Structure 1
């Protein structure tokens, strides 16, 4: 959970960087949108090939390496302001996150005996990811609202300190966990046949659309508040921070609810509620004179319902695989979610570039409606498969 907080603080600093650099006329929205490409596409390209590297080293030591890279990136960013460095910076963070996510998901699979236990632990860990988003937005909002706003990049040092401490903890405990994280005796060939399976294909499409939607909010919500709703930087970052806080609560509540209810039932309730709320927010934003104040309260409610979608669907899919295959499946998940995140961010960048920010919320409902349609097919396929067995 602590390592996920580190990754989320760095990955979701994208919203802060876009907000700050968009005020500089030397950067276009489409150019800033390409930063997402440098974060996500390298993840997509290398994630599938990292699994065997991780198995050779053990999950804890691999996680330790990824956190050390994150710490180095965090401490160095205030001293290197060139745009090319940000591209390299996001590439390194993206690859580190790939390693970390494969390790964390596989560790969770190792300690979970049932699907519900797996869903519960997944939701709590993903909740920690949203807590990191909340912390990074509040931290930078306070810095940008202070007399030291010109030194905002030093805010990344907090991430560096947390990352260093977590890596040190993993290094100390790696030997204790040796029996639990066995090293692979041989490498396996990458099996791409899973991509041709109808059920798996639907799942990868769904997680791509979910991350597509999350990226619309996580990276561009502050920009929407500042440039479309004319809010100041502090208010804009607060909006993103409180969205993350309610996402954290949503995933925490989902981890409790999954004990009593089926994961897919929770998934559908949250999905339909999110569509209704975002559609309502769009109408409020179009026709209300107090839209900024109202949207400040509506968006956190949206987070409660959108946040559980990703862990619920992941746990439902991954619970069907053995520990040996989970790492491979996670690498494919990272591949498709990276593509979804990049496409989502670049699409929104184009919308802002064309001065269509008023339709930001309307655009956000499109992937959610597609998720609803395809998830119905996914559930039908799941029931048919279970019936045949």
Structure 2
């Protein structure tokens, strides 16, 4: 998303708000699939479903260089959203089925999310190199690397399914959408906090390169490197989390990361206001925010899902995906509006708002939970 926004925002035909809408086309299918297909995915087995999702991703990646119309990008993101949703349901469920304790769940979640961020780092570095070369007009072919990896992974998951075919539940009954989850105060609060985390992550993941290029006047190469190193530091943050979780509870790590992230963002805002030297310093230090943002999502997930009944885990995961999809879409569209109105100087202050809300709400919840 960040790569496409960065490249197309340089075309006068595309507005920032128009590009922000692309997030909606990715996230709404994610929400719908997570609600309506969760039981079907369980019946077909998680590994086979993962293989199917990756095949969709491979087809999309190989086709994007040849279909350049903006309407195709909307369809492209719908298909990517569907495959992402299927993958997320499967991965959450596999982790839940193969871990027993909260700490084991947290460690596995952090390692999985770390691998996710490492993938983002590699792809962003690839595109940064392409855009700084003599072949920058062929940047869309960079998605072929994603296509090759997706195709290879799909084959591995399908082979695993054929060899074992034992990840499918013995008896999976179709169930109606259980909206009673939304009447549970703890579940609703958890879902709201998760959506705020993704809201904040989307502000950085999709729009940080655009902020670097428009507000800090960096090159496309350096702008994409900012996104790559944001992912790299997120990778490090999640790896370090797996070490600290043996000594500290997930919520202690959560609060320490959250407060550190807020301090860094607000400090970065004031540094950027000083002068050109301050802006250059910001270019190098700001991606480090990924280190503090990274533990928030897996730690909160592990705290809540580790004690959630195994029979209901897939349904709860579908609601997590629904709320994170909405949070991501709203975050991207809101940020697009800031750039459209030439308010990018307030980008960092805007990014701190969801984190401050998370701190206030989760602190209150933690006190109430402790008193009970």
Is 1:335 aligned to 2:342, yes or no? no
What secondary structure, in the 3-state scheme, does the structure 2 residue paired with 1:304 have? helix
State the Cα distance separating 1:64 from its structure 2 match.
0.7
Which residue matches 2:20?
A: 33
CA offset at residue 236 of structure 1? Answer: 0.5
Of 86, 89, 92, the residue aligned with 1:102 is 89
Deviates more, 1:287-296 or 1:250-259: 287-296
The alpha carbon displacement at 1:144 in A equals 0.5
Equivalent residues in 2 for 1:30-69, closer than 5 Å: 30-69=17-56
Q: C-alpha separation between the residues in 2 aligned to 1:181 and 1:46? A: 19
Please point out which of 286, 290, 301 is paired with 1:299: 286
The normalised TM-score by structure 1 is: 0.93
Matches of 2:340 and 2:199 in 1, distance apart?
19
Partner of 2:5: 18
Partner of 1:230: 217
Contact kept in structure 2, 1:221 and 1:236, CA below 8 Å: yes
Counterpart of 2:181 (choices 175, 185, 194) is 194
Q: Check the 8 A contact 2:47/2:167 in 1, yes or no.
A: no
Pairwise CA distance, 1:284? 0.5
**In 1, Cα distance between equivalents of 2:276 and 2:136:** 31
Alignment deviations for residues 222-250 of structure 1 (CA, whole Å, 9 cap, x no partner): 00000111111001001111111000000
Structure 1: segments with no counterpart, 5+ residues = 1-13
**Alignment correspondent of 1:3:** none
- Alpha-carbon distance between aligned partners in 2 of 1:154 and 1:309, rounded to the nearest angstrom: 34
Secondary structure, in 3 states, of the residue corresponding to 2:37? Answer: helix
Q: Is residue 225–residue 236 contact of structure 1 (8 Å, CA) maintained in 2? A: yes
Question: Separation in 2 of the partners of 1:31 and 1:318?
Answer: 36
**Range 39-48 or range 306-315, more displaced:** 39-48
User: 1:75-224 alignment to 2 at 5 Å?
Assistant: 75-224=62-211
| Other-structure match for 1:254 | 241
- Give the TM-score normalised by structure 2: 0.98
